[in-house]
Amino acid sequence: MELINSNNSFFLNPEDIYTVSRLNFEIKRNLENNFFNIFLEGEVSNFYCHNNKHFYFDLKDEYSKIKVVMFYDANKNLNFEIKDGLHLILSGYVSVYEKRGEYQFVANFAQPAGIGSLLLAFEQLKAKLKDKGYFDDVFKKPIPVLPKKIGAVTSTGGAVIKDIISVMSKRFDNFHLIVRNVNVQGPSSSEEICQAIDDLCEYGVDVIIIARGGGSLEDLWAFNTEAVAEKVFKCNIPVISAVGHETDFTICDFVADIRAATPSVAASIVVPDKNELTSKILLLFEKIKKSVADKIIHYKKDLNYLVNRRVFKNPMVLLTSRWQDYDLTVKRLIENINDLIGFKKSNLTQLVKLLSIGKIKNNIRFKQTVVINLSGKLKILINIRINELKNKIKTILQNIHANSPISVLEKGFSLVMDNSQKVIIKSLKQVEIGDEIKVFLHDGILLSRILDIIKNKLKF
Partner 1 sequence: MNMEIEIEKLSFEQAMNMLENIVKDLEDEKISLEESIKKFEIGVKLSSFCLEKLNEAEKKIEELTRTDNGKLITKDLNISE
**3-class secondary structure, 259:** strand
Q: Which of 288, 337, 406, 445 binds partner 1 (CB under 8 A)?
A: 288
CB 292 → partner 1: shortest distance, Å?
Answer: 4
* 298 versus 449: smaller Cβ distance to partner 1: 298
Cα four-point dihedral sign 369, 375, 381, 384: negative
Helix (H) or strand (E) holding 264: helix 263-270
- Least distance (Å) between residue 239 CB and partner 1: 16
How many residues touch partner 1 under the rule CB under 8 A: the total is 38
Binding segment for partner 1 (CB under 8 A), chosen from 35-43, 132-140, 279-287, 343-351, is 279-287
Tell which positions 153-212 bind partner 1, by CB under 8 A.
156, 161-162, 165-166, 173-181, 199-200, 202-203
CB of 191 to partner 1, least distance (A): 14
Convert residues 249-278 into a mask of x (bound to partner 1 by CB under 8 A) and - (unbound): -------------------------x--xx
| 236 contacts partner 1 (rule: CB under 8 A) | no
The answer to whether 200 touches 153, Cβ cutoff 8 Å, is yes
Residues in contact with partner 1, shown as a per-residue x/- string from 332 to 351 under the rule CB under 8 A: --------------------
Q: Which of 288, 266, 286, 267 is nearest to 278 (CA)?
A: 286
In the complex with partner 1, the residue whose CB is nearer, 53 or 162, is: 162
Examine residue 301 and tell whether it contacts partner 1 (CB under 8 A).
no
Out of 285, 312, 326, 413, name the contact with partner 1 by CB under 8 A: 285
Residue 302's identity, in one-letter code, is D
Considering the rule CB under 8 A, would residue 450 count as an interface residue with partner 1?
Answer: no
Q: Does 406 bind partner 1 (CB under 8 A)?
A: no
Q: Which of 23, 113, 296, 397 binds partner 1 (CB under 8 A)?
A: 296
Residues whose CB is less than 8 angstroms from the CB of residue 267 and which lie 6 or more positions away in sequence, other chains included: 163, 164, 165, 167, 168, 171, 209
Q: Can you say how many angstroms the Cα of residue 95 is from the centroid of all Cα atoms in its chain?
A: 59
Shortest CB 212 distance to partner 1, Å: 16
Report the alpha-carbon distance of residue 93 to residue 68 in Å, rounded. 10
The reply on whether position 239 binds partner 1 by CB under 8 A is no
Site map (CB under 8 A) of partner 1, residues 17-56, x = contact: ----------------------------------------
Is 128 near partner 1 (CB under 8 A)?
A: no
Query: Residue 50 in 3-state DSSP?
Result: coil
> How far is CA 97 from each of CA 100, 211, 302, 312, 338, rounded to the nearest angstrom?
6, 51, 106, 118, 138
**199, 204, 208, 210: CA torsion to nearest 10:** -10
Question: H helices of 273-425, where?
Answer: 274-307, 310-313, 316-354, 357-403, 405-410
Shortest spacing between CB 329 and partner 1, in angstroms: 39
Shortest separation between residue 274's beta carbon and partner 1, angstroms: 6
Chosen residue from 78, 141, 144, 265 binding partner 1 by CB under 8 A: 144
Q: Is the dihedral of CA 273, 277, 261, 208 positive or negative?
A: positive
* Closest approach of partner 1 to the CB of residue 289, in Å: 8
Q: Which is nearer to partner 1, 288 or 330 (CB)?
A: 288
* 291 touching partner 1, by CB under 8 A: yes
Whose Cβ is closer to partner 1: residue 156's or residue 314's?
156
215 is a contact residue toward partner 1 (CB under 8 A): no
CA-wise closest residue to 196 among 164, 174, 219, 222: 222
306 touches partner 1 (CB under 8 A): no
Q: What's the rounded Cα separation, in Å, for the pair 30 and 12?
A: 25
The yes or no reply on residue 307 touching partner 1 (CB under 8 A) is: no
Q: What is the SS3 assignment for 43?
A: strand
3-state secondary structure of 231: helix
3-state secondary structure of 444: strand
Got the DSSP string for 58-126?
A: EEE-SS-EEEEEE-HHHHTT-SS---TT-EEEEEEEEEEETTTTEEEEEEEEEEESSS-HHHHHHHHHH
Parallel, antiparallel or unpaired: strands 55-60 and 65-70: antiparallel
Q: Which residues bind partner 1 (CB under 8 A)?
A: 144-146, 148, 151, 156, 161-162, 165-166, 173-181, 199-200, 202-203, 274, 277-278, 281-282, 284-285, 287-289, 291-292, 295-296, 299
